Amino acid sequence: MGHLGTAEGIFYNCFDGKEIAPITGLTKLGIEKVPPLVTRGLVFDMPAVLGVEYLKAGQTFSIRDLKKAERRQNIKVQKGDVVLFHTGWTDAKLEKHPEEWGAEIPGITPALAEYLAELEVVAVGADTYGLDVVPPVNPEEPFQGHVILLQQNGIYILEAMNTGPLVKDEAYEFLFVLGQAKVRGAVQMYINPIAIR
């Protein structure tokens, strides 16, 4: 694929970046094309599953860990869900150690991204700035979760999600509501989703 997300890259649905990504913003696939999201949301408490206070920088969690979280929380990922992962990273690092928060992070692996894509979820997110683990599983292929979810499957990614309050309240399953600003040609947007339990 090469140069994903640059003017030379190939975007979702085989759109050529040279044709759809001028400096003024995307002519296809801009944030204005994303519909409001109103669906079931799930948050998985990965530190509880792994027996830690928070996941460490560079730490991943597997499909097996997700299945363990499903059993522990008595919920199962289904087609059309928004799936959020609580790693505890933001709660542990953002205020006290912002330089660490913005460097290496815990996150998903390409295998977990593939699994979630097969389940046909609508969006995947986490309480980290990048969802994917940093440093990447394969240094030659960083942010492969983005490639698998966004480029190959059209599944939205939600970053820096405030999952701590949901986990604290054990609100693992909820109605997820998001209506983002529709800035023409933008590739990302500040969002303020709502979880209704």
Q: How confident is the model at residue 140 (pLDDT cuts 50, 70, 90)?
A: confident
Q: Does the reported pTM lie above 0.75?
A: yes
Transcribe 27-51 into DSSP letters. SSS-GGGPPPEEEEEEEEEHHHHHT
* Residues 104/57, Cβ–Cβ less than 8 Å: yes
pLDDT above 70 (res 162): yes
Helices (H), the chain: 17-20, 46-50, 63-73, 89-93, 98-101, 110-118, 144-146, 153, 164-168
- For the segment 128-155, the average pLDDT, to the nearest whole number, is 91
pLDDT at position 5: 44
pLDDT tens by residue, 83-139: 999 999 999 999 999 999 999 999 999 999 999 999 999 999 999 999 999 999 888
pLDDT in tens, 25-52: 656 556 667 788 899 999 999 999 999 9
Give the bridge partners for 195, in sequence order: 176
pLDDT above 70: residue 188: no
Set out the domains of the chain in order of their start, with CATH numbers: 36-196 (3.50.30.50)
Distance CA 45, CA 50 (A): 9
The share of the chain scoring above pLDDT 90, in percent, equals 66
pLDDT higher than 50, residue 4:
no
The neighbouring-strand residues paired with 175 are 40, 196
